[in-house]
Amino acid sequence: MAEPGGHIWVERLRTEVLEPLRAGRKISYLPYDCHADRFLPPRKADPVLPTLVEGSYSCHPALRVLYDCCVFLDITPEYQRERLLRRNPESFEVFQTMWIPREEYYFKHCEIRSHCDFVLTAE
């Protein structure tokens, strides 16, 4: 957790999903549900179809070189608060005190925004 973006399993995403797809191979992978803290049933992905990888840490420096395009979604703190309260009000304090500061540190330290091809703003 001390490393910016270090709490995600970068190597697993890279070796089990991204590299095989870039090599043109069909894959089966186990998506992780962070809310349930467990892996979900296997899903398949075909390299012929577009693949979207989303999430705060999806543009990690060790991963972004494997993408054709990176998009950063920038939202205002007010809109972020509104969405978090609507989605998961019982965990809002944890997001406010732990996850948001970690994300902000990661975004800044790894220069995520400046390495993206597009920046979209939601208000």
Q: In which band, very low, low, confident or very high, does the pLDDT at 117 lie, cut at 50, 70 and 90? A: very high
Whether 75 is in a domain gets the answer yes
Whether 22 is in a domain gets the answer yes
* Structural domain count of the chain: 1
Q: What 3-state DSSP class applies to 36?
A: coil
CATH, residue 18: 3.40.50.300
The whole domain housing 77 covers 10-122
Please tell me which residue, 115 or 122, carries the higher pLDDT value: 115
Please state, as a whole number, how many other Cβ atoms lie within 10 Å of the Cβ of residue 41: 6
Encoded tokens for 45: 């992905």
Whether 30 is in a domain gets the answer yes
Residue 123 has pLDDT above 80, yes or no: no
Encoded tokens for 77: 């703190």
Please tell me which residue, 28 or 5, carries the higher pLDDT value: 28
Q: In which band, very low, low, confident or very high, does the pLDDT at 24 lie, cut at 50, 70 and 90? A: very high
Dump pLDDT digits (tens) for 47-105: 999 999 998 899 999 999 999 999 999 999 999 999 999 988 998 999 999 989 999 99
Whether 2 is in a domain gets the answer no
pTM (2 decimals)?
Answer: 0.82
Whether 61 is in a domain gets the answer yes
Whether 47 is in a domain gets the answer yes
Whether 3 is in a domain gets the answer no
Encoded tokens for 51: 């693949």
The pLDDT assigned to 1 comes to 63
Beta bridge partners of 44: 28
Q: In which band, very low, low, confident or very high, does the pLDDT at 45 lie, cut at 50, 70 and 90? A: very high
Q: What is the mean pLDDT of the chain?
A: 91
